[in-house]
Amino acid sequence: MDGLKIMEGISGFWHYHLGDGSLTALCGARVMPTGKPVSQYGKTPPNYHIPETWCEICKKESTPDEK
């Protein structure tokens, strides 16, 4: 995941994507930047009060061997 950043979808529902920092995620969704480290993609802390979700398409696009 070199060069990728966690990006948040613009809908405001804590749905996260991966992207290069532009306004478009790997899956094509419109996004905005976050401060989350890319190593935390797909990981929500136990008992976390915000219902985070993670884009599966972005995850597949970021790992070419798993397509």
* pLDDT tens-digit series, residues 7-54: 999 987 899 999 999 999 999 999 999 989 999 999 988 888 988 999
Residue 57: exposure state from Cβ atoms within 10 A (0-12, 13-18, ≥19): middle
Instruction: Give a three-class secondary structure readout of 12-42.
Output: CCCEEEEECCCCEECCCCEEEECCCCHHHCC
| Overall number of domains in the chain | 1
Task: Tell me: pLDDT of 56 over 70.
Answer: yes
Contact in structure between 3 and 38 (CB atoms under 8 Å): no
What's this model's pTM, rounded to 2 decimal places? Answer: 0.86
Q: Can you name the residues that pair with 10 across neighbouring β-strands?
A: none
Task: Tell me: pLDDT of 64 over 90.
Answer: no
Q: Which residue has tokens 């804590």?
A: 14
> How far apart (Å, rounded) are the C-alpha atoms in residues 66 and 55?
15
Residue 55 belongs to domain spanning: 5-66
